[in-house]
């Protein structure tokens, strides 16, 4: 989580009390990507190059 907060800070995001999911979605949005972290309902994701893919899919 510390690495995610550092990444957020570098993007000008103040993490405050955001949980991991919200913070990653905020980072995705700030980077111009679809904020889809942990939203795959069928454990399928077509975003093969996503930085968060390995963390995201096991959450389903």
2-10 vs 20-30: helix crossing angle, rounded to 10: 30
pLDDT, tens digit (0-9, with 9 covering 90-100), for 4-59: 999 999 999 999 999 999 999 999 999 999 999 999 888 888 888 899 998 988 77
- The number of distinct structural domains making up the chain is 1
Contact between residue 27 and residue 10 where contact means Cβ atoms under 8 Å apart: no
pLDDT at residue 37, rounded to an integer: 95
pLDDT at residue 18, rounded to an integer: 96
pLDDT at residue 48, rounded to an integer: 87
Q: Is the model's pTM score more than 0.75? A: yes
pLDDT at residue 41, rounded to an integer: 82
Instruction: In whole angstroms, give the CA distance from residue 17 to residue 48.
Output: 29
Residues spanned by the domain of 26: 2-59
pLDDT at residue 60, rounded to an integer: 54
């Amino acid at each position: 989580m510390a690495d995610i907060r550092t990444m957020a800070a570098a993007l000008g995001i103040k993490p405050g009390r955001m949980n991991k999911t919200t913070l990653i979605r905020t980072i995705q949005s700030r980077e111009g990507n679809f904020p889809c972290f942990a939203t795959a309902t069928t454990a399928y994701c077509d975003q093969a190059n996503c930085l968060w893919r390995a963390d995201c899919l096991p959450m389903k």
